[in-house]
Structure 1
Amino acid sequence: MKISFKYIPYFLLFILGLNMTLTSCTGDLDVTPKDDDEFLSETFFQDPTSYKKVLAKLYAGLYVGGNDGDGDAAVPGKNPDIAGLGGDFSSYLRLLFVTQELPTDEAIIAWSDGTLPTLNTQMWSPANEFLYGTYSRASYEISLANEFLRQTTDEKLAERGVTADLKTEIATFRAEARFLRAFSYVNLMDLFGNVPITTEADPVGFFYPVQKTRAEVFAYVESELKDLDASLAAAKSNEYGRIDKVAAKFLLAQIYLNSKVYTGTDRNNEAATLCSEIISSPYKFANVPYNYLFSANNDRNGAQSEFIFPVISDGNAIRATGGGMSFIIHAAIGGSMDPASRGMDGGWYGTRTRKEFVALFPDAAATGDKRGTFYTDGQNLDINNVGTFTDGYAVTKYINVNSDGTKAQRTDIPDTDFPMFRISDAYLMYAEATVRGASTGNIGTAVGYVNQIRTRAGATNVTAGDLTLDFLLAERGRELFWECHRRTDLIRFGKFTGGSKIWQWKGGTINGTATESFRDLMPIPAKTIQANPTLKQNPGY
């Protein structure tokens, strides 16, 4: 069986059986099929090609919010995955950007939709619908992965007479589904702390899953990712856009680096060791201009050599006008910017950055550091009014134009892939783990990795004496901004809440103010607790 992964029409699939309510993860997701035309699990899986299509649906959930792209509850057959949440607003990638970037120094948004402004100021509450969307999206992905695993047991495959070759392929699919489930658990653990764990072994249907401690979720994810090393595809042997053994090592390295936050225990030795293995893998640092990594053809212009886990965007194949990269690029265009020069059909006058982040670069013109790509014409450095797009420098990191200047496929939906995991991050994680005392790291090697990154950026080289934690936090910002890492990074460095690092509108004041430490964790959404009253709210909310 050979199906091109990128062009499977996964946005048309709603692969849910009548026995698959998906309420088992949170008890609050009304996502059962709405009519007899929906695919039913047992019937659907009689087709040998169905297994890869369901896997594609799992990957698609990282980008799109429902059937046929964004999903539209008002249009039959185009339902959003999660009842009560528009498919554009419940796009996984869009929600990760909202929760990881807006509460930090890297981004701010002008829009006043619902409780969105509270994410700019770290003033959110359990009633925040965007936090509910994030919790629900991750939970939905977990439930879908669980059902796929239920439908691909040896017993099920034997009953359907699946061939030996297809069984072998399905074994790899199952490993990828388990990875994607682990990825969602990491996001839930990181954002919300104590959350339930459900697997394919749990009963199908409505029940109240037991809330686990953050340390228990960590241990579960750690066990899963270690076990997957035996069943995932070898490095670089899978189709572009699908994960392999190196992606599992990367996610494991990430949670080890954050282990002190999640469990109270440092795991820097393990983080440095895994980063060394990742760096020595077939994935290689891309010796191309930095902007190539964020151009419309970043899947083929050389940048892809360092993409361990890209979230695929395709203007023709993936019809998501409000989610994924369409949101990230559209929302960053406004003021006097020319949307056509960005390869887009218009701007949404939304996201910019704050002056404290601009100050991390030697200048705002990308002269001393090519990564400092800000649009300043007509933009004020100070954000006097959050709702005014021209207050705050605009960010031009992502573009829907090919790196050679040619046009992308279309202007309403971009082709630019999102680099969820890439080698440069492994370089910086190795350096950080080493500075934090990892005996498995080497300072000289760490300096070499950091300078490789800075040389590509046209920035000056550093020495071992420069490699402090404060420098590394700033360097992570310069290299990885708007890649959905900043909130997690700031928490790990003790700079997210409190008063040790202040930026405009933190805490709700123009010059910024200290915020309460309990906000290092997001609140469990009120609707989630209403659906599962056994859940306990995080302290402070």
Structure 2
Amino acid sequence: MNKYIKILSLSLGFWAVSCTNLEEQVLDETFSTTLSDKEAADGIIAPVYALLPTIYQHTTYFALQEISTDEAILPYRGGTDWGDNGIYLDLHRHTYNSNSANVKNTWNALVTALSRAITALNTLKDNPDANAKVYYAEAKAMRAYYNLMVFDLFGIAFKKDDPGTPSVILRGKTAFDYIAAEFEAAEPNLQTRNAVGSGRITKAGVWSLLARLYLNAPVYKDRYAASFTFAAEDMDKVVTYADKVINSTDYKLSNDYFSIFGNNNHNNTELIFAVDQRPELNGHNRLAYFSLSGDQYPLPAFPSANGTDGPGITSDFYQTWATAYAPADPKVDPRFFQDNLKKADDGLSTCVSDADFKINRGILRGQQYGLIRENGVFVRCADGKIKVGPLANLNRNRPDKKVIFTEKIDFTTEGSDYSTGFRVEKYEFSTESNSGRNRGMADISIVRLADVFLMRAEAQLRKGNSAAALADLNTVRAARNITTPPPALAAINLDVLYRERGFEFYWEMLRRTDMVRFGKYEGVWTEKTNADKNKRLFPIPQTAIDGASNLEGYLSQNPGY
């Protein structure tokens, strides 16, 4: 029997028109009769996940979820670098529009992934292989997940079963109910993490995403409300789904916070659902090198793999840490910083073996230490070990200017210099890379157990059960005990919980959604004063609207754009 694989057309001209309708140009390629049902099933489920690394790149979903918030800011470095026609300034200032590149690229990746899930559903339903039933459920759950992302960012969802017909566009409660029903329909036939790992959607992955959906229910059902009312029945759903995850035996909070984002995190039992970045899949280190200085080199084997002087954290976000722990330094919280260069912290150069060299992780402040590159190679000590010392802006031809990360970062000339802003090095650089930049090892968290605990805490708090909420919050804090854990909190309110989510999930692409839900997104922070509530949603890209213009009234722009 011949097997048929559906091939996706990715030409720009085609997608400019079809990404709105989620239609694909399908080419049937007949393979030999040796292709088994299992091979056909494996071949059709793989593309459903394949675009997750693209979606979670630093210039797509990360940019929309982080640089649009009070957490991350990306100025014109030195007046020129990262200019990109002002797209990152617009994101941070909330002056983005329907032609913004980050918005358009995120949209295109998401609707392409949605289309692949629909193709998979239509192909897998007739496949007799034993795995096809599970794969079908995964494709359905992933269609729901991609729709959830589109719904969260753009306010719409696509309902489509037949690849040959246009999608039905859903908004508000109708979209919410559809996504919830899709997740619930997929769950019975999904497997557990122990069976398939965290790189595929599982029962617990669906429970966690349903908890996220219901936690944001008042936002999703009425985007532009003056305030959000969190219905008890929605919060009960959050608790129910969170209980399922927490009470399962598959997951455990990690005592080593930074191991959750480390090279060996593929089997970390805190990860519930993640972007699989194992080296053989040719992932990327973008989230590792994006924020680092151009004079920071994390891998002794690769003298060309440096940082890009990308975004830093705002002083506003840093001050949430400083205020919470004053008069102590915020590094008393092990989630804030991991010191891997203790030998160099006396300000003097030192010598270490290549195998022992690791850069610091977390939020990086002040004078930076690391590998010193001269004439294209790293400086070594007399014994052959690699030299570690205070860094200067050698790549900027300013050897007199030290790499000293400062709290102040903004869009002024002074605030846009190469070393302004405290930086974030949360994900670890791959030790199995063949270039220093590709073949990332650290899986990117989509949802993890700490989020489930804090979602349950928030739902309990919004229901008035502060004792249960405080217990969940302190459970997460106490778990980070490979060193001294952050002290238990004695009281909780919504501001404390919001602050705690910032401490736990910084740089994890949750901030914008959290800010909207907590009523913070119209606030004022560094370089941002825009209070337009229409910015709670991103504009639908103009290319998508133009592509749908032959269907009158099919796709309308979000208010305010």
For Structure 1 versus Structure 2, the TM-score category normalised by the shorter chain is 0.7 to 0.9
Question: How many Å separate the matches in 2 of 1:445 and 1:483?
Answer: 23
**Alignment of 1:173 onto 2:199:** no
**Identical positions, percent:** 26
Would you say the 8 A contact 1:55–1:177 is kept in 2?
Answer: yes
Would you say the 8 A contact 1:194–1:211 is kept in 2?
Answer: yes
Question: How many Å separate the matches in 2 of 1:453 and 1:538?
Answer: 42
One-letter amino acid of the counterpart of residue 495, structure 2? D
One-letter amino acid of the counterpart of residue 482, structure 1? W
Q: Give the match for residue 412 of structure 1.
A: 437
Offset, 1:53 = 2.5
**Alignment of 1:313 onto 2:299:** no
Residues 188 and 41 of structure 1: CA distance in aligned 2, closer, same or farther (over 3 Å): farther
1:345 partner SS: coil
Q: Give the match for residue 434 of structure 1.
A: 460
**Alignment of 1:51 onto 2:51:** no
Deviates more, 1:283-292 or 1:517-526: 283-292
Question: How many Å separate the matches in 1 of 2:472 and 2:22?
Answer: 46
**Residue 95 of structure 1, aligned match among 37, 43, 60:** 60
Residues 451 and 291 of structure 1: CA distance in aligned 2, closer, same or farther (over 3 Å): closer
One-letter amino acid of the counterpart of residue 556, structure 2? K
One-letter amino acid of the counterpart of residue 389, structure 1? Y
Would you say the 8 A contact 2:117–2:140 is kept in 1?
Answer: yes
**Residue 520 of structure 1, aligned match among 533, 536, 554:** 536
TM-score, normalised relative to structure 1 = 0.78
Q: Deviations over 1:397-421 (max 9, x none)?
A: 11115xxxxx344422221111111
Would you say the 8 A contact 2:68–2:91 is kept in 1?
Answer: yes
- Decide which structure has the larger Cα Rg and report it: 2
Offset, 1:123 = 1.1
Question: How many Å separate the matches in 1 of 2:252 and 2:301?
Answer: 26
Q: Give the match for residue 514 of structure 2.
A: 489
One-letter amino acid of the counterpart of residue 516, structure 2? I
**Alignment of 1:185 onto 2:169:** no
Offset, 1:25 = 5.2
**Alignment of 1:276 onto 2:305:** no
Residues 220 and 92 of structure 1: CA distance in aligned 2, closer, same or farther (over 3 Å): farther
Residues 335 and 202 of structure 1: CA distance in aligned 2, closer, same or farther (over 3 Å): closer
Question: How many Å separate the matches in 2 of 1:108 and 1:241?
Answer: 30
Question: How many Å separate the matches in 2 of 1:257 and 1:291?
Answer: 27
Question: How many Å separate the matches in 1 of 2:102 and 2:410?
Answer: 25
**Residue 467 of structure 1, aligned match among 487, 492, 511:** 492
One-letter amino acid of the counterpart of residue 431, structure 1? A
Would you say the 8 A contact 1:250–1:278 is kept in 2?
Answer: yes
Question: How many Å separate the matches in 1 of 2:217 and 2:272?
Answer: 22
Would you say the 8 A contact 1:335–1:390 is kept in 2?
Answer: no
**Residue 101 of structure 2, aligned match among 129, 142, 145:** 129
State how 1:205-224 maps to structure 2 within 5 Å.
207=166, 209-224=167-182
TM-score, normalised relative to structure 2 = 0.75
**Alignment of 1:539 onto 2:559:** yes
One-letter amino acid of the counterpart of residue 289, structure 2? H
Would you say the 8 A contact 1:17–1:41 is kept in 2?
Answer: no
State how 1:65-104 maps to structure 2 within 5 Å.
94-104=59-69
Offset, 1:505 = 1.5
Would you say the 8 A contact 1:342–1:400 is kept in 2?
Answer: no
RMSD: 2.9
Question: How many Å separate the matches in 1 of 2:57 and 2:32?
Answer: 25
Residues 345 and 334 of structure 1: CA distance in aligned 2, closer, same or farther (over 3 Å): same
Q: Give the match for residue 16 of structure 1.
A: 8
**Alignment of 1:252 onto 2:210:** yes
Offset, 1:309 = 0.5
Offset, 1:360 = 2.1
Would you say the 8 A contact 1:380–1:392 is kept in 2?
Answer: yes
**Residue 20 of structure 2, aligned match among 22, 26, 30:** 26
Deviates more, 1:55-64 or 1:428-437: 55-64
5+ unaligned residues in a row in structure 2: which ranges?
A: 76-81, 223-229, 337-361, 368-403
Offset, 1:201 = 2.8
Q: Deviations over 1:2-34 (max 9, x none)?
A: xxxxxxxxxxx983389xx886651488x747x
Displaced runs of 4 or more, over 4 A: 21-25, 41-47, 90-94, 341-344, 363-366, 438-441, 453-457
Q: Deviations over 1:436-489 (max 9, x none)?
A: 0077993464354344356567211112xx211111111111001111100000
State how 1:231-250 maps to structure 2 within 5 Å.
231-250=189-208
Residues 104 and 442 of structure 1: CA distance in aligned 2, closer, same or farther (over 3 Å): same
One-letter amino acid of the counterpart of residue 536, structure 1? S
Offset, 1:237 = 2.1
Would you say the 8 A contact 1:28–1:528 is kept in 2?
Answer: no
Q: Deviations over 1:106-158 (max 9, x none)?
A: 2122412243331122110111121111111111111111111111223xx3x
5+ unaligned residues in a row in structure 1: which ranges?
A: 1-12, 34-38, 65-89, 402-406, 507-512
Question: How many Å separate the matches in 2 of 1:200 and 1:93?
Answer: 31
Q: Give the match for residue 420 of structure 2.
A: 391
Q: Give the match for residue 110 of structure 2.
A: 138
Q: Deviations over 1:257-289 (max 9, x none)?
A: 000101146311110121111111123333431
Deviates more, 1:439-448 or 1:98-107: 439-448
Question: How many Å separate the matches in 1 of 2:364 and 2:557?
Answer: 41
Residues 218 and 391 of structure 1: CA distance in aligned 2, closer, same or farther (over 3 Å): same
2:191 partner SS: coil
Question: How many Å separate the matches in 2 of 1:120 and 1:44?
Answer: 53
**Alignment of 1:374 onto 2:363:** yes
Which structure carries more strand by proportion?
Answer: 2
**Residue 107 of structure 1, aligned match among 72, 75, 85:** 72
